[in-house]
Structure 1
Amino acid sequence: MRIMLKTCISLWLSLMMLSGCSQIGLTYRHLDLIIPWSLNDYLDMNSTQKDWFDERLKEHLSWHCTTQIPDYLSWLDRLQGMVENNQVNEAQLKARTAEARQAIATISQEITPSAVELLRQLDDQQVAEMETAFAKDMRKHEADFVDQPLDQQVRERAERMEKRLNPWIGKLNAAQRDRVMQWSTSLGEQNRLWIDNRAHWQSLLVTAVKQRQAPGFDQKIAKLLQDRETFWTPEYRQAYDHTEQAAISLITDLMAQSSPEQRQKLLQKIADVRQDFTHLGCLKGVKKAS
């Protein structure tokens, strides 16, 4: 189930290419790694917390499979129709993007009560560990993405995009590679803006958790999880619309430049993902009940 969800998100990122968008990149990884589930990477939970975590995770995974995956199948059907009917255009991609955002919002709302409870259980040492781990996380991201000259950042960003695309449409042709490089160049300092925005959000989370026994804690965490745009840095907010439009334009152009073999490969990948979801045991149970 977790692998299937990862595959779906990988497909989404590969096709829609909103990789510069922290809203998707940070909020929607795997269901069990959505913040604050990803805090499991940043601190050691005690045995009581782990037992509680495992039980809640099972509940959320069951909810996700039985209530959300049917919508993913419909989303894949619409995506398949776009490719088959040569309708991979800006209007259709924007519609699919809006649907993905709604899926993210639904999951964020579902896990918020558990997130609040988990964060309130932390002791001072765990909060300190989380803060230290966040700082380490930032240093790693800076080393990986912004401690290089801008031209190297642009080149490596284009390489990462090609690597994401290859499993879904195969090797890019020369025109497609040029278009990917053009896209990467147009984003400029996006790496820095994304990392600064990530650090800003993490700082707000740590500040809120340090006051976890104070009135209004539930509401603060809910807003941090469900209304992330509210906390974007001004620089990231200003760049966001350009980043999203650049991604949509990129996909539109790549599909316009695609060969029949590339489109067939994409359709087969979509079919494979759909089949994997359809074969999930929890989803079969829903179908029998209905």
Structure 2
Amino acid sequence: MPRASIVVVVVLTLLLSACSTQLGYRFADTLIEWKLNDYVSLNNQQEQSVDQAITTLHQWHATSELPYYSKQLQQLREKIATETLTEADLVALYEELLIVWQRMLQGIEPYALDLLPQLSDQQVSELLANLREKQREEREELSDVEGSERVKQVRRRAEKNARNWLGQTTKLQERLINGWVVERFDTRELWLDYNERWLEEFAQTLERRQQQDQFQQELLELFYQPQHLRSDELVQHIEHNQQLTIALMYQLYESLTDRQRRRVISKLDGYIDDMNELAADFSTK
């Protein structure tokens, strides 16, 4: 999750990944359906059920979640504009993002419990085969990149994010970003290990999808309590990187020039306007 940029990147990465443009968000339901087709072939009845579920979730997110995101961004904007943001605000923001993610899972939960048991054995095999192939591709892609090149990739992304939000960076900001790159832990292999363990647990849960009570209990544990599948090393590295990233964001915030602050505020205003417009449009549907 971490990104080496200013405070707003956390919000926009974690809260607004589907809202990067109005056009992208408006057609998010269609894009999700297309992506789903890459993993499992559905019959006509299943396609209709999935289509209705995605449409309902999209409507809920636009009318309930986007106004909340807009409010949070507005508060963040005011703190940046008035230079009153604190490091404690960033910790609170991170914790709030976890709550937002839980709300997303709660929105998906009833549809997963309803639709997954409808899959045939053949569909489950197809779904798991495609998910495992995706995991294999990610593992292979990672193994093809040497450790030094991974660091360079992280640095390039960090610098690109910084330029996107700040424009031209100062020497101090470049040193701060480089320090973050050097000190952070590379967790990609550990995340892949965790994802593979999660997927195998998911596969076992799907085998019991006709046993309603057991299936529901196991699926919800995978949704809401997946931490037990993470290694101690991954947990420690996540905490380290989180603290490092919050410290970096606050340092970058403190280092903003007047011109950079105006740029950040302008970009935030654009996102706030987009979300308010989208929420208003969807509320009339």
TM-score (norm 1): 0.81
Farther off after superposition, 265-274 or 198-207: 198-207
- CA deviations 1:5-52 (Å, max 9, x no partner) are xxxxxx999622898xxxx69xx854859x999755422222221111
Aligned pairs for 1:171-210 (under 5 A) are 171-210=168-207
Aligned residues of 1:15 and 1:165 also touching (Cα < 8 A)? no
Aligned equivalents of 1:150, 1:240: Cα separation in 2? 19
From 102, 105, 109, the counterpart of 2:106: 109
The one-letter code sitting in structure 2 at the alignment partner of 1:237 is V
Provide structure 1 residue ranges, at least 5 long, that are not aligned to the other structure.
Answer: 1-10
What's 1:85 paired with? 82
Aligned equivalents of 2:160, 2:245: Cα separation in 1? 15
Aligned equivalents of 1:161, 1:120: Cα separation in 2? 42
What's 1:122 paired with? 119
Aligned equivalents of 1:127, 1:36: Cα separation in 2? 17
The answer to whether the aligner puts 1:165 opposite 2:159 as a matched pair is no
What's 1:243 paired with? 241
Aligned residues of 2:87 and 2:247 also touching (Cα < 8 A)? yes
The answer to whether the aligner puts 1:66 opposite 2:63 as a matched pair is yes
Farther off after superposition, 166-175 or 122-131: 166-175
- Judged with a 3 Å threshold, the aligned counterparts in structure 2 of structure 1 residues 14 and 199 are, in CA distance, closer, same or farther, namely farther
SS at match of 2:42: coil
Aligned pairs for 1:1-290 (under 5 A) are 15-16=9-10, 30=18, 39-214=36-211, 215-280=213-278, 282-283=279-280
SS at match of 2:169: coil
Aligned equivalents of 2:128, 2:157: Cα separation in 1? 29
Provide structure 2 residue ranges, at least 5 long, that are not aligned to the other structure.
Answer: 19-27
- CA deviations 1:43-63 (Å, max 9, x no partner) are 222222111111111111111
Aligned residues of 1:194 and 1:236 also touching (Cα < 8 A)? yes
- Judged with a 3 Å threshold, the aligned counterparts in structure 2 of structure 1 residues 167 and 18 are, in CA distance, closer, same or farther, namely closer
Task: Calculate the aligned-residue CA RMSD, in Å.
Answer: 3.0
Larger RCO (CA under 8 A, 6+ residues apart): 2
Q: How many residues align?
A: 269
The one-letter code sitting in structure 2 at the alignment partner of 1:86 is E
Aligned equivalents of 1:268, 1:250: Cα separation in 2? 22
What's 2:24 paired with? none
Aligned residues of 1:157 and 1:184 also touching (Cα < 8 A)? yes
- Judged with a 3 Å threshold, the aligned counterparts in structure 2 of structure 1 residues 29 and 227 are, in CA distance, closer, same or farther, namely farther
- Judged with a 3 Å threshold, the aligned counterparts in structure 2 of structure 1 residues 37 and 98 are, in CA distance, closer, same or farther, namely farther
Aligned residues of 2:7 and 2:250 also touching (Cα < 8 A)? no
Aligned residues of 1:208 and 1:221 also touching (Cα < 8 A)? yes
SS at match of 2:144: coil
SS at match of 2:83: coil
Aligned equivalents of 1:13, 1:252: Cα separation in 2? 7
- CA deviations 1:53-97 (Å, max 9, x no partner) are 111111111112222222111101111022112234321111111
Aligned residues of 1:168 and 1:266 also touching (Cα < 8 A)? yes
Aligned equivalents of 1:256, 1:100: Cα separation in 2? 22
The one-letter code sitting in structure 1 at the alignment partner of 2:159 is E
- CA deviations 1:239-279 (Å, max 9, x no partner) are 22112111111111222222222211111111001101111
TM-score (norm 2): 0.82
Aligned residues of 2:6 and 2:253 also touching (Cα < 8 A)? no
- Judged with a 3 Å threshold, the aligned counterparts in structure 2 of structure 1 residues 75 and 203 are, in CA distance, closer, same or farther, namely same
Aligned residues of 2:208 and 2:214 also touching (Cα < 8 A)? no
Identity over aligned pairs, percent: 25
